[in-house]
């Protein structure tokens, strides 16, 4: 049976950070951190308006946002590891993770001719999830299908 305790803990921590971030932002907004500065144009009839930051966003807000994103990202890694363990993976395999790539060709590490390699290549998204059941791999891959060695289908 798949164990999701650490996934839930990471999600809870991320949500706690979001609540802290909201509190920081509410306080910052209440400080009226922006001023609207009108500037008369040369025609003497119309104005340009510029916004001046009178109270910068507290550094804590950036740090809290980063902590929240990190915990959400970690929850995905914990989820993938839980699914891999449920499928009999080595609990010490540090190459198992939730893959994040900006392009499908990088995710799959396609060959120069656009075809898939025979086996998932180290450093590819498909390698990071190779220990999962095929249905889970397919879901993470975005529903991509392989026909005649080429990717077809979703995104």
Check pLDDT > 80 for residue 38: yes
At 105 the pLDDT is 82
Question: What tokens were used for 56?
Answer: 């910068």
Alpha helix stretches (DSSP H) within the chain? 5-30, 59-86, 104-108, 125-128, 134-140
At 14 the pLDDT is 97
pLDDT tens per residue across span 88-131: 999 999 999 999 988 888 889 988 888 888 899 999 999 999 99
The answer to whether the CB of 3 falls within 8 A of the CB of 85 is yes
Check pLDDT > 70 for residue 146: no
Question: What tokens were used for 125?
Answer: 């998204």
Check pLDDT > 60 for residue 145: no
Give the span between the Cα atoms of 83 and 2, in whole angstroms. Answer: 6
Tokens 């959400």: give the residue: 72
Q: Across the chain, what does the average pLDDT equal? A: 91
The answer to whether the CB of 99 falls within 8 A of the CB of 61 is no
Domain locations along the chain: 5-146
Q: How many other C-beta atoms lie within 10 A of the C-beta of residue 147? A: 8
């Amino acid at each position: 049976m798949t164990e999701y305790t650490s996934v839930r803990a990471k999600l809870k921590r991320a949500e706690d950070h979001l609540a802290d971030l909201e509190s920081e932002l509410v306080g910052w907004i209440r400080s009226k951190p922006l001023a609207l500065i009108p500037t008369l144009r040369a025609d003497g009839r119309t104005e340009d308006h510029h916004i001046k930051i009178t109270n910068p966003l507290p550094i804590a807000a950036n740090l809290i946002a980063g902590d929240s994103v990190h915990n959400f990202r970690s929850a995905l890694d914990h989820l993938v590891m839980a699914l891999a363990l449920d499928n009999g993976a080595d609990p010490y395999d540090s190459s198992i993770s939730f893959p994040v790539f900006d392009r499908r060709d990088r995710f799959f590490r396609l060959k120069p001719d656009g075809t898939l390699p025979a086996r998932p290549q180290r450093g590819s998204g498909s390698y990071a999830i190779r220990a999962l059941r095929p249905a889970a791999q397919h879901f993470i891959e975005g529903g991509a299908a392989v026909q005649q060695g080429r990717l077809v289908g979703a995104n």
